[in-house]
Amino acid sequence: MAKDNKMALLEPVVTVREVSEDLPRTIDVEKLGRQRPAEFSSTWLEVAFIVSMLGSLAMADFVIGGFQVVLPALIEPFHIPPGSQTWPSSVLTLVAGAFLFPLGRVTDMYGGYLVFNGGLLWFTVWTVAAGFAGNFTVLVLCRAMEGLGTAAFLPAGISLLGRIYRPGPRKNLVFALYGAIAPLGFFAGIIIGGMAQDLLSWRWYFWLGAIITAPCCLGTLLTTPHDYAAAREMKVKMDWWGVLTTVPGLTLFFYAITESSSTPNGWTSPQIIITLVLGILFLAAAVYVEGWVAASPLIPADIFRVKYIKRMLFCLLLSWGVFSLYLFYSNFYIQLVLGRRALTTAIWFGPWAAGGLVLSTMSGFILHVLPGRVLLILSGTSKVLAVLFFALMPDNPNYWAWVFPAMLFEAACVDVLWTVSNVFLTTSLPRHRQGLAGAVISVTLFLGGALFLAVGDVAREQFRAAGMDLKGQYKGVFWIGVGSAGVALITCFFIRLGKAGCTLTVEERQGANLDAGLDKAEPKLGPLSRGARTSESDSDTVVGVETEMEGEKKP
């Protein structure tokens, strides 16, 4: 009877195995971190889920990357004035960035299944509608609604993967595949956008995107584990004060920095100054509300107490900002300075997409072998080299000597960094905050991209005013990218992440009364912690913890 009682205590937390009558039972975290999650009845079901999930998430990059190719063909028929030509592109990221935190909270309240599939269905419907747009206003509305759907399924997707997969090599590989599919989605958008425009009509860019999304949507509806009941048990509540301050604050702030480049007087334009000031005031109010008023803050302060998280987010902000500069200005540099055609430019970006697929997948296989700190340093070094190649590029460069390695280095940076940061953050937070984890990562990426594109535009205008030619202006922006990437690389040296191996989840460690942040601390005695032994890697974070739990011996 005593033996049955002990098993009843252990079973709700983790799977256990009995060694013998006289030996203690242990939690085999190594086995749990490698085996198929219990949510899937077969490997085929798991594979179908992963393929559908990753295909859906890639569509967020598809609608961003390819639209840049389609937009020039819409300016004349839709009578888009010069000051509004960037609006159809930027409105998607503006809406998505503003609603990530509220929809991340909705994910934690009601589970990833409902929010992910609801957001993806919404996204698919409005992608079809965009293909029927007959004027500029309808097109902008459809793009905004696509952004709302993106804000739903991006954090919900990360939440589902974080909840389903426990720390270990299997989780590392899944998130690595997620990072690998992003550049493929972006590159596919560019290729399909160009082909649709040349061979069919710009409308087919949206319709083909919806055709690709539809089977992925059906797949996630059929294969995604239902987590509504488990999410409701957490009793997470909405923070309406946070919503009323963060949404308008982020909307106005994103609007100011994204539209500053398209207004006649730039940052001195009245509409930019007013929206920027109002955005900052709303965000300041959000800081006060979240810190001292809200009972259940939308952005809880204790998330920033996770060791190294502030450094990691700072590194993400810089790296994705430089990545946005790289994508935007390398594209224009190849076409306007080197004189290559649009199709040639798209092909030249091929190694970035293919390299991202290979390198990101490889990182998933070695995250539990190499410390995260080493991978971050390698990633940061690749970022510096990628931008440096364009900053130093001579006239009429050899593709294989200059452009090809730059594309590979860029792939090695963003995809590896994406994998490490997602594994780190989702492993560091409990199940009821996985939606928040997805929102924090996505907002950081959107903010970094918007900020650095605005900085690049201001810098290029200053270079132009100083009398530099187009080549000099672009190279000046690339050197800004080199400097920012260097700061990100230095930051990587101070993020001491260990190996992302098989460990206990946050809930399991809390249940065992273990404090993973204290080196060599004795665990408190409790029904799950008697006889527990812990050892930490140099990271001193949840990523580096290796724990073996032992039950009491049979009396």
Do 101 and 132 sit in the same domain of this protein?
yes
What's CA 57's distance to the chain center, in Å?
Answer: 10
Whether residue 518 has pLDDT greater than 70: no
Entry pTM: 0.75
| 109 Cβ contact list (under 8 Å, min separation 6) | 231, 232, 236, 237, 238
What DSSP character marks residue 403? I
Q: How many domains does the chain have?
A: 2
Please give the pLDDT value at position 129: 92
Do 194 and 103 sit in the same domain of this protein?
yes
Do 269 and 367 sit in the same domain of this protein?
no
d(CA 523, CA 547): 11
Best CA proximity match to 190, nearest among 344, 377, 383: 344
Backbone angles phi, psi at 535, to 5 degrees: -140, 135
Please give the pLDDT value at position 508: 61
The pair of three-digit structure tokens given for residue 126, joined into one six-digit string: 């409005």
What DSSP character marks residue 534? E
Please check whether residue 500 lies inside any domain of the structure: no
What's the CATH number where 124 sits?
1.20.1250.20
**Picking from 83-87, 322-326, 376-380, which range would have the lowest pLDDT averaged per residue?**
83-87
Alpha helices (H) along 111-239: 112-131, 136-164, 169-199, 203-223, 228-233
Please give the pLDDT value at position 23: 35
d(CA 349, CA 407): 7
Task: Categorize the per-residue pLDDT at 27 as very low, low, confident or very high, splitting at 50, 70 and 90.
Answer: low
Q: Which of 475, 492, 509 is the last residue of a domain?
A: 492
Task: Categorize the per-residue pLDDT at 538 as very low, low, confident or very high, splitting at 50, 70 and 90.
Answer: very low
Do 249 and 356 sit in the same domain of this protein?
no
Do 215 and 286 sit in the same domain of this protein?
no
Backbone angles phi, psi at 550, to 5 degrees: -120, 135
Please give the pLDDT value at position 474: 87
Q: Which of 492, 518, 548 is the last residue of a domain?
A: 492
d(CA 438, CA 423): 11
Please check whether residue 15 lies inside any domain of the structure: no
Which three-class secondary structure state does DSSP give residue 142?
A: helix
Please check whether residue 548 lies inside any domain of the structure: no
Is the separation of the CB atoms in 416 and 365 below 8 Å?
Answer: no
Determine the angle formed by the axes of helices 87-110 and 136-164, rounding to 10 degrees. 40
Do 286 and 194 sit in the same domain of this protein?
no
Please give the pLDDT value at position 302: 75
Higher pLDDT among residues 64 and 50, named by residue: 50
Total number of residues shown for the chain: 555
**Picking from 60-64, 167-171, 508-512, which range would have the lowest pLDDT averaged per residue?**
508-512
b/e map of 396-417 (b: 16 or more CB within 10 Å)?
eeebeebbbbbbbbbbbbbbbb
Q: How many CB atoms lie within 10 A of CB 273?
A: 14
For the stretch 123-148, pLDDT in tens is: 999 999 988 988 888 888 999 899 89
DSSP class per residue in 429-441: S-GGGHHHHHHHH
Please give the pLDDT value at position 34: 67
Range of the domain at 251: 240-295
For the stretch 188-212, pLDDT in tens is: 888 888 788 778 888 888 899 899 8
Specify which of 53-67, 165-179, 374-388, 426-440 reaches the highest per-range mean pLDDT: 374-388
Do 62 and 166 sit in the same domain of this protein?
yes
Is the separation of the CB atoms in 282 and 86 below 8 Å?
Answer: no
d(CA 109, CA 102): 11
Do 232 and 111 sit in the same domain of this protein?
yes
Please check whether residue 112 lies inside any domain of the structure: yes
For the stretch 225-281, pLDDT in tens is: 887 777 777 777 888 888 888 888 888 887 887 776 666 676 777 888 888 899 899
Do 268 and 400 sit in the same domain of this protein?
no
Higher pLDDT among residues 247 and 505, named by residue: 247
Mean pLDDT of 489-514: 70
Which burial class, exposed, middle or buried, applies to 12 when counting CB atoms under 10 A from its CB (0-12, 13-18, 19+)?
exposed
Do 361 and 484 sit in the same domain of this protein?
yes
Please check whether residue 326 lies inside any domain of the structure: yes
Please check whether residue 397 lies inside any domain of the structure: yes
The pair of three-digit structure tokens given for residue 284, joined into one six-digit string: 């300041």
Please check whether residue 540 lies inside any domain of the structure: no
Do 344 and 244 sit in the same domain of this protein?
no
Please give the pLDDT value at position 487: 93
Mean pLDDT of 42-56: 87
Task: Categorize the per-residue pLDDT at 437 as very low, low, confident or very high, splitting at 50, 70 and 90.
Answer: confident
pLDDT mean across residues, the chain = 76
Please check whether residue 542 lies inside any domain of the structure: no
Q: Which of 458, 492, 526 is the last residue of a domain?
A: 492
Do 83 and 227 sit in the same domain of this protein?
yes
Strand partners, 304: none
Whether residue 483 has pLDDT greater than 80: yes
Please give the pLDDT value at position 547: 34
